[in-house]
Amino acid sequence: MTHIDYNSVILIMQSFCGLLFLVQLYYFLVPYSRLFRSNRQQDKLPENTNCPPLSVIMVTKDSASMLKENLPSILEQDYPEYEVIVVNDESAGEDEDILKILCSQYPHLYRTFIPKSARYVSRKKLGIAMGIKASKYDWIVVTEPYCNPVSKNWLRSMARNFVPGTDIVLGYCNYYGGKGFFLKRIISDMLIVSMRFLGKAIGGNPYMGIGRNMAYRKDIYLKHKGFYNQLTLSRGDDDLFINEIADRNNTKVCACPDSIMRMPAPKYKKIWKDDKISYEVTGSRYKGTARLSNSIETWSAMLFNISVITSLCIGIVCREWIFTASVCAAWIIRTIVAMTVYCKTAKAMGEKVSAFLFIYDLLRPLYSLSLKTGYITRNKSDYMRK
């Protein structure tokens, strides 16, 4: 019978747990904590007086009810000079009727449409390109018909970052709060996604943006030839575009309370899952190490929990109580640090999911695995140009 050297096994497990513990502490204490710390700092800034004229652009398709509900909040912003351009993508519903009514009430609202003859490119990208071409101002703010700013100072808060040397401003968006496991899950997921990409941007390593709440200069869009490098994909008008043009010097994050956008939860889980899988497609094309860094954090969290359970079993069997206690202490410390950062960020960004975050933190590696499995098994042509 083979003799097992339990002392060597314990030493290996202790070293493995210790390494994963340090990796997890780094992520939560450094990049993941930046969002709530930035929110706290921006909330103390004086009222914004930097308000250059800007153009808000959105593309609509069969979103009449959303336009009726959300567009007035954008049109009634407390901002001195701006225009709102809505590009209609062959809507079969009442979008055009709603836009005609709103145009008669708001002189700074303009509407245009994507020609039916337009083919072979992503219509969302084409719509944004048409809106930018029609815009009068240097700063472009992009959002969606289903998004609603929480404050009349949304544009003022974004414009606070429109300073010389800055070309891109990234904002925060999440779902409306409510009851139900699925809703809390997707709010928690979006919170963590934001902690990642906004935290990286605050730290000087921007790698993506989400086109529900962000701004950029028209000049950088034109200089980059718009979405030329992503025309083969049905997506990429937000995250891939920002991934290509953003750097540590030209990108800022707006994380103050007035800058937050809200959106309704998708009607069906499949809609949300398809959206997440499509981000896997564009994420595979990111330049830099952001994708690898995110994967390291996710899988180190899962491996840390597995190693803790394994170490506890070994420690109890071998009656190594100091080893067992040290492993328990490491798990408790990591959990306290993670939950502190989660909860402070949730509070700063107005999310009421703090009690759920502990469960989500345990399950998110499994969620990530299911999304990657869905991506691998999908037909990649589903995400090519349409």
Which class would CATH give 40-179+205-265?
alpha beta
Say whether pLDDT at 7 is over 80. no
Tens digits of residue pLDDT in 177-199: 999 999 999 999 999 999 999 99
What percent of the chain has a predicted confidence (pLDDT) above 90?
Answer: 69
The label of the residue with tokens 């101002």 reads 137
pLDDT the model gives residue 296: 96
Helix (H), strand (E), coil (C) string for the chain = CCCCCHHHHHHHHHHHHHHHHHHHHHHHHCCCCHHHHHHHHHCCCCCCCCCCCEEEEEEECCCHHHHHHHHHHHHCCCCCCEEEEEEECCCCCCHHHHHHHHHHHCCCEEEEECCCCCCCCCHHHHHHHHHHHHCCCCEEEECCCCCEECCCCHHHHHHCCCCCCCCEEECCEEECCCCCHHHHHHHHHHHHHHHHHHHHHHCCCCCCCCCCCEEEEHHHHHHCCCCHHHCCECCCCCHHHHHHHCCCCCEEECCCHHHCEEECCCCCHHHHHHHHHHHHHHHCCCCCCHHHHHHHHHHHHHHHHHHHHHHHHHHHHHCCHHHHHHHHHHHHHHHHHHHHHHHHHHHHCCCCCCCCHHHHHHHHHHHHHHHHHHHHHCCHHHHECC
pLDDT the model gives residue 73: 98
Say whether pLDDT at 72 is over 50. yes
- At 150, the pLDDT band (50, 70, 90 cuts) reads very high
Tens digits of residue pLDDT in 358-368: 999 999 999 98
Tens digits of residue pLDDT in 280-322: 878 888 998 999 999 999 999 999 999 999 999 988 888 888 9
The label of the residue with tokens 């190594």 reads 320
Say whether pLDDT at 381 is over 70. no
Instruction: Domain ranges for the chain, please list them.
Output: 6-30+291-373, 40-179+205-265
> By the 8 A CB rule, do 106 and 132 touch?
no
This model's pTM is above 0.85: yes
Say whether pLDDT at 385 is over 50. no
pLDDT the model gives residue 157: 95
pLDDT the model gives residue 116: 76
pLDDT the model gives residue 87: 96
pLDDT the model gives residue 5: 61
Q: Which residue has the higher pLDDT, 259 or 386?
A: 259
CA 16 to chain centroid, in Å, comes to 31
End-to-end CA distance of the chain: 64
Four-point Cα dihedral 274, 62, 215, 238, nearest 10: 30
CA 153 to chain centroid, in Å, comes to 21
Say whether pLDDT at 124 is over 90. no
pLDDT averaged over the chain? 90
